[in-house]
Structure 1
Amino acid sequence: MTVPAQPLRVTVWGENVHEQREPEVTARYPRGMHGAIAEGIEANLGERVVVRTATLGDPEHGLTEEVLAGTDVLTWWGHAAHADVADEVVERVHRHVLSGMGLVVLHSGHWSKIFTKLMGTTCTLRWRSAHDRELVWTVDPTHPIARGIPHPMVIDEDEMYGEFFDIPAPDELVFLSTFSGGEVFRSGCTFRRGHGKIFYFRPGDQDYPVYHHEGVRRVISNAVEWARTDRPERAYPTLLRYDTEDFFTGHGYGGA
């Protein structure tokens, strides 16, 4: 008898600051950007996924040890309050990513504490906050995250991000974006850190209805499926000592 696969457990984290302060953002995203992102994942993956949401204002930002232990993939959107994210929560998320939890970082989450910690760089870039058109070009059409995405994907309204983007060289470049000013940007990048898989996806400013865009929703849905680890259990990478000709059983080590 085939054992049915367990549903993918996704936690959608949103800062939820713009939605509280700016009426036009509230009107654009009545359930918050995190709500729109969660709706897109649910619409695309159906019964294959169980989605919960968490925000900055929740106790421990909604990212308790229990929540993270029960999360296969975490999505992250932040912008106005990166500094307000507690360092102990960042350390907790970082530990879970290295142990095998997937992470999908969206738009201005490039400057979040968790993404810069995982990348080890400033993650700075060029930007222009003006009504712009973005063309998202598929660089790797064989990648699972690109499944079902038009080439190019047209986003009629969005903010511009441009190179230089100070990130490590991606393990895989899936998407490249171009803008009306001639700028280009590495807009869909994968990374691996420890046992965790990470995807950064650029589109999604609060001033535009990007998270209602069907193509953007499909990319995020594909990404959370891709970022799920196939390891049997979550485990933090550890240093093990092996005896000569002992290939299989490592021993704990208490050194530096």
Structure 2
Amino acid sequence: MSENLSVTVWNEYRHERDSDEVAEVYPDGIHAAVAEGFEERGFETRTATLDDPEHGLSEGVLKDTDVLTWWGHRAHEEVSDHVVDRVVERVRDGMGLLVLHSGHYSKPFKRLMGTSCALKWREADEKERIWVVEPGHPIASGLPEHIEVPEAEMYGERFDVPAPDELVFTSWFEGGEVFRSGCCYNRGSGKVFYFRPGHETYPIYYRDDIRDVLANAAEWAAPSDGPEPFFGNADPLEDV
């Protein structure tokens, strides 16, 4: 299925250019590492960044995108509202959206969730165990019972999002916190998956297990071939 799916990998692309520490981990940008994982697994892949014209998300690009991935951190407010409108409309029309790590504060995700999407956090190089709590879910296909990340930024509850339609992963951190780290939502005809790992100073997106999660999530979130819904005044199917 992946051979027929088009993925656009969006990244803010600011930390990698301003911080030597981040550039050492992701010299070509986080988007390049994420895109490499999709390319290796047979997806048709393009990248887009905040400073591209229209943030790289023109109407044409979004129309040709089956699944959009989103990584942002410090420049959420620089994303133009008209581009956010486009993204949200495409999701509701059927495009998949994978929101990564600090993208929980992105404009598209907050708009689709309708909440603050706030959480607690701490940077202390803590171990994270990402537990698969729904092993029969397609996003968990081929994974072990848990994924262990030796160093991570902590995200902790409460995570101010709506209760997920399906929860695939829950994380435990060395400091004692837990977090709903793999949340699935349906919005209109589209699907949204939030996946927690991915702080810019850790090489998370080079890991095969993390790349497998993202590939599984893209296939899950891709548009379906279901009927297009009709809204408005409708003629009866039977005599009334």
| Contact 1:157–1:210 (Cα < 8 Å) also in 2 | no
Partner of 1:136: 130
Given the alignment, which residue of 67, 72, 77 partners 2:66?
A: 72
In structure 2, C-alpha distance between the alignment counterparts of 1:100 and 1:244, rounded to whole Å: 27
| Aligned structure 1 segments of 4 or more residues deviating by more than 2 angstroms | 243-247
Alpha-carbon offset, residue 149 of structure 1: 1.5
RMSD: 1.7
In structure 2, C-alpha distance between the alignment counterparts of 1:173 and 1:205, rounded to whole Å: 21
Given the alignment, which residue of 238, 244, 247 partners 2:236?
A: 244
Partner of 1:14: 11
| Aligned partner letter, 2:64 | G
Given the alignment, which residue of 189, 194, 199 partners 2:183?
A: 189
Alpha-carbon offset, residue 246 of structure 1: 5.3
Partner of 1:251: none
Identity of aligned residues (%): 56
- Indicate the larger mover: 24-33 or 179-188: 24-33
| Aligned partner letter, 1:184 | V
| Contact 2:3–2:44 (Cα < 8 Å) also in 1 | no
Given the alignment, which residue of 98, 110, 113 partners 1:116?
A: 110
Given the alignment, which residue of 34, 37, 58 partners 2:34?
A: 37
Q: Is 1:23 equivalent to 2:20 in the alignment?
A: yes
Matched positions, count:
239
- CA shift digits 1:210-250 (9 cap, x unpaired): 111221111011101110021268x6x66321133459xxx
- 3-state SS in 2 of match to 1:157: strand
List runs of 5+ in structure 1 lacking aligned partners: 248-256
Name the TM-score, length of structure 1 as normaliser.
0.90
Structure ID, larger Rg: 1
Partner of 1:250: none
- Taking the TM superposition and a 5 Å limit, the aligned residue runs for 1:155-166 are 155-166=149-160
In structure 2, C-alpha distance between the alignment counterparts of 1:244 and 1:199, rounded to whole Å: 37
- Indicate the larger mover: 162-171 or 23-32: 23-32
Name the TM-score, length of structure 2 as normaliser.
0.95
List runs of 5+ in structure 2 lacking aligned partners: none
In structure 2, C-alpha distance between the alignment counterparts of 1:185 and 1:218, rounded to whole Å: 20
Partner of 1:253: none
